[in-house]
């Protein structure tokens, strides 16, 4: 566990013990259970937000072993596994969670997302079908849209994406997903507009910037779009555009973009250098 987090936990524990002493219950501090400190200091929330995901997993695993009936520990462990990008391990934890007394519709929606992360699209759909239609949340409709995409039910996907976008003040990620959906269908113009909109909401969303370049390159427009970008991002986007040009047979344009990427990158751009060297060897042979 990192030193800042340990300091916060230690301080929280001292505050609880101090409070006991002020109330004339100093003797109780000797028997203070860690789970009591958790309740008193919102340590669960700390573990789910600022703690290292893998450390959080171990914390909730240990807590759950001590008290397997505490639903918040199981929920915390499942969510921490997702944060740690360990979705395969998270699924069985979520499965037990949704069967526990006190579980919520949100727990089942989180299970559906975990199934999607493990590429279990049918399982995810089955979980969402168990959630009442009255539960209308951004996450629910975003997942519904992704499932419709996987089934190539485009009209249904568009409807769900639109609803999801309207249920959040930060729709950048759903706009990016929607744009990718449009690009998969070959509707590059529509995809381009959605990626631009995603970047408008989140200037730092590099995935949308890269997807935007791909959508433009698919239309043989290799010029970089006028969007916010750092020098490093500019080099990476040139690299993406250059590779796309080469794949579409525009070798000279691709070579130029790869060289521009190398020249623009603030540090050594190893991937671009290797790609350009490989391209030059292919052309010479």
Pair 193, 222 in one domain: yes
Residues 239, 205, single domain; the answer is no
Q: Is 249 part of any domain? A: yes
Q: Are residues 243 and 285 in the same domain?
A: yes
CB burial class (10 A; 0-12, 13-18, 19+) of residue 226? exposed
Q: Give the separation between CA 52 and CA 85, rounded to whole angstroms.
A: 12
Does 74 fall in a domain? no
Number of Cβ within 10 Å of residue 119's Cβ equals 11
Residue 217's alpha-carbon distances to 231, 237, 248, in angstroms, are 20, 11, 9
Domain co-membership, 218 together with 257: no
Do 222 and 182 share a structural domain? yes
Model pLDDT for residues 6-57, shown as the tens digit of each residue: 444 443 443 333 434 444 444 444 444 544 444 534 788 889 888 899 999 9
Residues 237 and 214 placed together within one structural domain of the fold: no
**Mean pLDDT within 64-70:** 93
User: pLDDT digits over 135-154, tens only?
Assistant: 999 999 999 999 999 999 99
Q: Where are the alpha helices (DSSP H) in 67-202?
A: 71-83, 87-98, 105-117, 121-129, 138-150, 154-166, 172-184, 188-201
In whole angstroms, what is the distance from residue 222 CA to residue 62 CA? 53
Local structure of residue 225 (DSSP, 8 states): P
In this structure, the answer to whether residues 243 and 261 fall within a common structural domain is yes
88: in domain: no
228 DSSP 8-state letter: -
* 212 and 263 assigned to the same domain: no
240 and 220 in one domain? no
Range of the domain at 222: 170-226
Residue 285, in any domain of the structure: yes
Last residue of some domain: 203, 226, 249? 226
Q: Specify whether 202 is located in the same domain as 235.
A: no
User: Cα torsion for 158, 244, 247, 261, to the nearest 10°?
Assistant: -160
In a domain, 186, yes or no: yes
Residue 137 located in a structural domain: no
Give the count of beta carbons closer than 10 Å to the beta carbon of residue 186: 9
Structural contact between residues 157 and 164, judged by C-beta atoms closer than 8 angstroms: no
pLDDT tens digits along 180-235? 999 999 999 999 999 999 999 999 999 999 999 999 999 999 999 999 999 999 99
Q: Is residue 271 part of a domain?
A: yes
Looking at residue 44, its pLDDT comes to: 87
Q: For residue 49, what pLDDT is reported?
A: 87
Q: With contact defined as beta carbons under 8 Å apart, do 191 and 211 qualify?
A: yes
pLDDT, average across residues 157-182: 97
The CATH number of the domain holding residue 182 is: 1.25.40.10
**Is the residue at 239 inside a domain?**
yes
At which of 183, 199, 226 does a domain end? 226
Q: How many folded domains does the chain comprise?
A: 2
| Rounded-to-integer distance, Cα 174 and Cα 226, Å | 22
CA atoms 174, 179, 181, 182: torsion sign: positive
Question: At which residue do the structure tokens 């990016």 appear?
Answer: 176
Q: What is the pLDDT of residue 12?
A: 43
265 and 236, same domain (yes or no): yes
**Cα four-point dihedral sign 60, 61, 62, 65:** positive
CB 144 within 8 Å of CB 127: no
Which value, in Å, is the radius of gyration of the alpha carbons in the chain? 25
pLDDT in tens, 184-197: 999 999 999 999 99
Q: Cα(278)–Cα(283) distance, rounded to whole angstroms?
A: 9
Q: Are residues 211 and 243 in the same domain?
A: no
The pLDDT value given to residue 281 = 84
Domain final residue pick, 181, 206, 226: 226
The reported pLDDT for the residue numbered 196 is: 98
Q: What is the DSSP string of 116-142?
A: HHTT-HHHHHHHHHTS-TT---HHHHH
């Amino acid at each position: 566990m990192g030193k800042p987090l340990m300091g916060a936990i230690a301080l929280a524990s001292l505050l609880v013990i101090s409070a006991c002493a002020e109330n004339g219950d100093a003797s109780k501090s000797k028997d203070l259970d860690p789970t009591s400190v958790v309740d008193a200091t919102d340590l669960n929330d700390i573990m789910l937000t600022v703690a290292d995901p893998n450390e959080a997993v171990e914390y909730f695993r240990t807590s759950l072993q001590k008290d397997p009936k505490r639903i918040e520990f199981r929920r915390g462990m499942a969510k921490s596994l997702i944060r740690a990008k360990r979705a395969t391990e998270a699924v069985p934890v979520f499965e037990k969670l949704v069967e526990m007394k006190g579980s919520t519709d949100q727990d089942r929606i989180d299970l559906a997302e975990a199934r999607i992360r493990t590429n279990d699209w049918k399982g995810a759909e089955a979980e969402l079908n168990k959630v009442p239609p009255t539960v209308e949340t951004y996450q629910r409709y975003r997942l519904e849209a992704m499932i419709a995409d996987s089934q190539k039910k485009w009209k249904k996907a568009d409807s769900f994406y639109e609803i999801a976008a309207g249920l959040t003040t930060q729709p950048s990620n759903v706009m990016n997903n929607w744009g990718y959906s449009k690009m998969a269908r070959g509707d590059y113009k529509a995809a381009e507009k959605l990626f631009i909109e995603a970047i408008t909401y989140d200037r730092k969303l590099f995935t949308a910037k890269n997807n935007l370049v791909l959508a433009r390159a698919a239309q043989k427009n290799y010029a970089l779009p006028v969007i916010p970008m750092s020098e490093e991002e500019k080099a990476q986007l040139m690299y993406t555009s250059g590779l796309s040009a080469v794949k579409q047979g525009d070798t000279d344009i691709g070579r130029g973009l790869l060289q521009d990427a190398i020249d623009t990158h603030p540090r050594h751009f190893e991937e671009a250098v290797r790609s350009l060297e490989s391209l030059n060897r292919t052309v010479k042979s």
